[in-house]
Amino acid sequence: MTSSLVMAGRALELPPGQPLLMGVVNASPESFSDGAQVGDLEAQVARAEGLVADGASILDIGGESGVTDKPAVAAQEEIERVCPLIERVSAMGVTVSVDTWKPEVARAAIGAGASLVNDVSALLDPGLADVCAQTGAGLVITHTRAEPKRKEFPSYEDVTADVLELLGDRLALALERGVGEGSIVLDPGPDLAKTPAQTIDVLSHLDQVVALGHPVLLAVSRKDFVGALTQRRPADRLSGTLAAVGEGVDAGAAILRVHDVAQVSDFLRVRAALRGQAGVPPDLALDPSLRRQRAAE
């Protein structure tokens, strides 16, 4: 298993059993989860700063939501949405990922400071791999059998086998186009061209994706399969998300893409301490100011 991710000439360490948190910063007002809260550039920068303070090591910036009831965003509009934000966020010294499947957007975003391209289209346009190869940027390859912004549920004989087959095929394509072996991340694509039951099937076999030998990105935050299991709307799916995160970490996920960075960070910290995976100082004590809380606070 790769213990680091090489992007734009530098390595991001991926300690075994200690997944990095990728915070989500949406510049897409049509987002299914928090589109109404996107705000202007300053609001987006403030959200980015907050996520870093909460424990995010990577910020994933997207200018087009995957919602299927809205038309596709033109590449130039997407560039105008994400590049000013990427410039500001990359200046903070944090690793920036751009969530796009369009080569022209990826190239502009990398020029603005992004070092990772999070492609949710399964390399629908191989030119995206060419951009990563030419710039040295990292690449997230995601499993899906549907085109972007189309909700389709193919009939799979074995959905996990299909995930392994397609990821292996696209991995070979990316390497053939010149993307570095140590610059590729794999994502099994929860909810992408999958019913909730199919997503659960894939995630219950996540160790097989990990066995492909590349860091695995787990993007389960607020997803439909969690909502289907809990019958909760997106903003109320944190508990279900944490359950999925815990299982994913056990299976070997290296990067967790989440909206609620502080809560996931707390979950992982307490979990690691109770499992003996993190040192606990013998003089650990609670700050007295945190002992009680008034009802209005």
What residues act catalytically? 223, 257
Phi, psi of 62 (to 5 degrees): -130, 140
Residue 119 CA to residue 98 CA, distance in Å, equals: 8
Structure tokens at 117: 């391209």
Contacting residues for 197 by C-beta, under 8 A, at least 6 apart:
none
- 198: tokens are 């199919």
Angle at 284 between CA 279 and CA 286, to 5 degrees: 135
Sign of torsion, CA 201 207 213 218? positive
Measured CA to CA in angstroms, residue 96 lies from 65, 172, 220 at distances of: 18, 25, 19
The SS3 assignment for 24 reads: strand
Q: How far apart are CA 101 and CA 121, in angstroms?
A: 6
Residues 227, 243: Cα–Cα separation, whole Å: 13
The answer to whether the beta carbons of residues 32 and 66 sit under 8 Å apart is yes
Q: Decide if 245 contacts 218 (C-beta within 8 A).
A: yes
* Among the listed residues 79, 113, 82, the one whose alpha carbon sits nearest the alpha carbon of residue 96: 113
Residue with tokens 């809205």: 70
